[in-house]
Chains A and B, each alone.
Chain A
Amino acid sequence: MFSLTSKVALVTGATGGIGAAIARQLHRQGAVVVITGTRESVLNELAAGLGKERVHAVTADLSDPASADQLIARAEEAAGAPLDILVNNAGLTRDMLAIRMKDEDWDKVINVDLSSPFRLCRAALKGMLRRRSGRIINIASVVGATGNAGQANYTAAKAGLVGMTKSLAQEAGARGVTLNVVAPGFIATPMTDVLPEAQKEKLVGAIPLARMGTPDDVASAVLYLASDEAAWVTGSTLHVNGGMAMI
């Protein structure tokens, strides 16, 4: 089950907590993994942790459209084979209440969290449609469905990702290429570690499964959607949030 032997996978934002877990799980299942991020040293560390085989590190700044446009070709060159699995995990936040939010805070988040995944999907789909196989998994967020004060830009991008994925799933369906979304809830990462203890307790109190999620909880969902076993699942959103929002 869930074997990815000889599949080539690209994971963006692999230097983050969730991205690294995704890269590790896909690698463990036999995939050739291309990891990408902006921080070269962290990327190389992660690559070394995965072992010498079947791992390639490619630095890329996805806020640059040209860099996003070229990334698929660079990944395929590094792996020496066409791409089978694309995981759009890279993202950033610029949180603040809307009345304080500047255009650049809005634009930056929409560009990296929505436009860049579109560019990567577009580039990846060209080859996948021709080869009549492929898996794309876009990482959104529970707040894309529920909204969240202080995150108008981020939630718009993540909700946009869901709509985009559904459209692309319809366009690619006839070729056996699937696109799905994984929407994580409250996950323990370096980003959430800094929250005050009282706030964490309150957040966990709203989760029926009574704990924060782990990066591996998210990665397991990605692994399923990347596998042959998920061949008949497309355009769907898999919520991984401990029951915090049952949608």
Chain B
Amino acid sequence: MSEIADKVKKIVVEHLGVEESKVTPEASFIDDLGADSLDTVELVMAFEEAFNVEIPEDAAEKIATVKDAIDYIEAQKKAA
């Protein structure tokens, strides 16, 4: 697992208070991890802070699963 994936997982565990084993790449924040809309916004803001990237609103809306988040951040980091 990449460093980014590790960090994303850690942030998700911390913010949603879920067990690490549940944070699989396919896990949906809302459907599988019990997040509400506010949680997802807070998660995006936590990602922005942790990775020093900006995630615009339209991109944030498409981040539904753990993998979505990892992919987006990795793409941003590569582009930088």
Which residues of B are found within 8 Å of A175, using beta-carbon distances? 38
CA distance A174 to B38 in the complex (A): 9
Which residues of A are found within 8 Å of B36, using beta-carbon distances? 174
CA distance A126 to B42 in the complex (A): 8
Which residues of A are found within 8 Å of B42, using beta-carbon distances? 129-130
Q: Mark B22-64, 1 if CB is under 8 A from A, else 0.
A: 0000000000000010100010010000000000000000000
CA distance A174 to B45 in the complex (A): 18
CA distance A126 to B49 in the complex (A): 13
The distance from the CB of A229 to the nearest CB of chain B, in whole angstroms, is 25
The distance from the CB of B42 to the nearest CB of chain A, in whole angstroms, is 7
Of all chain B residues, which has the CB nearest A171? B38
Which residues of B are found within 8 Å of A130, using beta-carbon distances? 42
Q: Which of A109-143 contact B (CB under 8 A)?
A: 126, 129-130
Interface residue total, chain A, C-beta cutoff 8 A: 6
- Interface hub of B36, B38, B42, B45 (most chain A Cβ within 10 A): B38
CA distance A130 to B11 in the complex (A): 13
The distance from the CB of B13 to the nearest CB of chain A, in whole angstroms, is 15
The distance from the CB of A122 to the nearest CB of chain B, in whole angstroms, is 12
CA distance A130 to B42 in the complex (A): 8
Which residues of A are found within 8 Å of B45, using beta-carbon distances? 126
Which residues of B are found within 8 Å of A174, using beta-carbon distances? 36, 38
Which residues of B are found within 8 Å of A171, using beta-carbon distances? 38
The distance from the CB of B76 to the nearest CB of chain A, in whole angstroms, is 22
CA distance A173 to B38 in the complex (A): 10
CA distance A175 to B61 in the complex (A): 21
CA distance A171 to B38 in the complex (A): 7
CA distance A171 to B42 in the complex (A): 12
Which residues of B are found within 8 Å of A129, using beta-carbon distances? 38, 42
Q: Mark A167-180, 1 if CB is under 8 A from B, else 0.
A: 00001001100000
Which residues of B are found within 8 Å of A126, using beta-carbon distances? 45
CA distance A176 to B45 in the complex (A): 20
CA distance A175 to B39 in the complex (A): 10
CA distance A41 to B71 in the complex (A): 54
Q: Mark A157-197, 1 if CB is under 8 A from B, else 0.
A: 00000000000000100110000000000000000000000
Of all chain A residues, which has the CB nearest B46? A130
**Known pairs A129-B38, A129-B42, A130-B42 / 5 extra A-B pairs, C-beta < 8 Å:** A126-B45, A171-B38, A174-B36, A174-B38, A175-B38
Of all A-B residue pairs in the complex, the 7 with the closest CB atoms, nearest first, are: A174-B36, A174-B38, A129-B38, A129-B42, A171-B38, A175-B38, A130-B42
8 residue pairs of the A-B complex, CB under 8 angstroms, read: A126-B45, A129-B38, A129-B42, A130-B42, A171-B38, A174-B36, A174-B38, A175-B38
